[in-house]
Amino acid sequence: MGEFVRLEVADGVGTIRLDRPKMNALNVQVQEEIRAAALEATERDDVRAVVVYGGERVFAAGADIKEMADMSYTDMVKRSGALQSSFGAVARIPKPVVAAVTGYALGGGCELALCADIRIAADDATLGQPEILLGIIPGAGGTQRLTRLVGPSRAKDIIFSGRNVLADEALAIGLVDKVVPAASVYDEAVAWAKQFSAAAAYALRAAKESIDRGSEVDLETGLEIERQQFAALFATEDRTIGMQSFVENGPGKARFVGR
């Protein structure tokens, strides 16, 4: 458990909880603690789905600019790969991941939310990539993940201008997937994650990998990725359980074991 980031587990749901007052600024220590929490969530069999949460007031307001302001070009050449890979560890969790976005998710905070499979936001949440206003660009995946999510034109508008995106617009353009009252954000995210607590874990893993890897390649390569993942699941115990249950009891009644 890190000083500012911890993994809390209950009923099959792991919450990666950011807690660096006041705004969850993402300094180097927080970045590395995010990586450690994501790796722990990946390895633990009792974690079947993950919520990324910054607390009731703020998701993460961005990088620690005071720390970054003193870094040279060579400092950032050395650090930038680790920055991207720390967030990438969240994107690579082979389980369903939801970001519960409250308050501000700006800069690195928005990039962290983009690493989740879906985003549930408060009705008063504010997202954006304001790096251009500092004379830089997003460096933790924003130019790539945002573009893939909302399309090049919308991503350029948001990144070029550095403007804030309020919850209603974020929902309309697909930057977030659901908007709920602020007091309900975490509960809604946990409810979404909890539906997978008894699901076929390796089938979920295969589905996520097929979608994520397939979206980066041409159709034929994507279909081959899917074919391999599909065939591989016939080696799992859950596939046997699922099909036997369907034949004997109909759909939706299988009790999977996660193997």
Q: Note if 63 is an active site residue.
A: yes
Token pair belonging to 244: 């036997």
Known catalytic membership, residue 131: yes
For residues 209 and 229, what is the distance between their CA atoms, to the nearest angstrom? 8
What is the rounded distance in angstroms from the CA atom of residue 116 to the CA atom of residue 192? 13
Residue 10's Cβ-count burial label (10 Å; 0-12, 13-18, 19+) is: exposed
Pairing of strands 49-53, 97-101: parallel
d(CA 233, CA 248): 20
Please say if 67 is a catalytic residue.
no
Q: Which of 25, 54, 62, 111 is catalytic?
A: 111
- Selecting among 41, 89, 128, 131, the annotated active-site residue is 131
State the DSSP H helix or E strand holding residue 14, giving kind and residue range, or none if neither: strand 13-18
d(CA 28, CA 89): 15
Given 37, 60, 63, 199, the catalytic residue: 63
Answer yes or no: 56 catalytic. Answer: no
Catalytic annotation, pick one of 108, 139, 141, 142: 108
Q: Which of 211, 4, 32, 25 is nearest to 118 (CA)?
A: 211
Please list the active-site residues. 63, 108, 111, 131
